[in-house]
A = this chain, B = another copy of it.
Amino acid sequence: MKIGRQEHRSSGISTSNADTIVVRGKDLCRELIGRVGFTEYVWFLLCGELPQPAQRRVLDATLVAIAEHGLVPSVQAARMTYAAAPEALQGAVAAGLLGCGSVILGAAENAGRLLADEVARASTSDMESAARAVVGEKRAARQPVPGYGHPLHKGEDPRATRLFAVAAEADLPDAHRRAAKQVEALLPELTGKPLVMNVSAAIPAVLLDAGFPVGALRGVPLLARTASLVAHLLEEQAKPIGFVLSHAGSKAVEYDGPVPPGFVRGDT
């Protein structure tokens, strides 16, 4: 079935013959394996050019920042899934990544689109007006401002602070970082809450300042979290807690529906 217009019929990422694998114009085996690190290669796959040292440095920093934060929902989903289906580690990793969404973990993309919009608007006005505009639109649509506020790090998200320091040390331009700071400065006034910038706004701020493509921003938490999920699943092999997590979850929630006559509630 022919779905859609199908105007494109090409891809520019990789081709190969029996002897040579080409990626983005380079010979994978002669020019890349053993010569570039994985972070450089990630940038190269996405952008078609190897990164400058400052670009590689902030991409490394963001991947390290977002990979791991303990038994967060995505990790619990993955460990429960692995306990039930140990024959398929890839399935447990996929289950974890599916929680990289707009509310948590995946908010870097939404925050990045807001920051990019704000910087674009500031070019014809000023950053404060632009920040008021983009935040105002979120408020009008009754949507949260992505990338601000954190359930644990209420006074400051130390990862955000550190990422900004790394970007400053790397001497990157700072338009998106200023945009993120401007939003943070206005949020108490505009929302009535002192929501601090979290890692999901800091990641796009430093990456967009480095020239990273906005459409790939959700890839950063996805890639980082994959590493963390594999580490948790390796631990799960030796010290399984997947069913401990689900047991605790089930005990925290009451049944509030009807029961048949004579039913005696027990430990479910």
Contact = CB atoms under 8 A, between A and B. Distances in A.
Interface of A: 1-4, 6, 8-34, 36-39, 41-42, 45-46, 48, 57, 59-61, 63-65, 67-74, 76-77, 80-81, 83-95, 97-106, 109, 151-156, 158-159, 161-163, 165-166, 169, 213, 215-216, 218-219, 222-224, 226-228, 230-235, 237-260, 263-268
Number of copies: 4
A262 to B, nearest CB: 9
Contact of A103 (B86, B231, B241): B86
Contact of A162 (B18, B29, B68): B29
A29 B161 contact: yes
A246 B76 contact: yes
A162 B238 CA distance: 33
A108 B259 CA distance: 28
A72 B257 contact: no
A82 to B, nearest CB: 8
A90 B103 CA distance: 13
A18 B243 contact: no
B36 A64 contact: yes
Contacts of A4: 83, 151, 240, 243
A213 to B, nearest CB: 6
A222 to B, nearest CB: 5
B85 A101 contact: yes
Contact of A28 (B27, B65, B258, B264): B65
A28 to B, nearest CB: 7
A128 B33 CA distance: 30
Given A94-B98, A239-B10, A260 B227 contact: no
Contact of A97 (B73, B74, B93): B93
Contacts of A42: 227
A144 to B, nearest CB: 11
A253 to B, nearest CB: 5
Given A12-B257, A260-B27, A247 B152 contact: no
Given A45-B67, A222-B93, A255-B15, A263 B3 contact: no
A245 to B, nearest CB: 4
Contacts of A213: 234
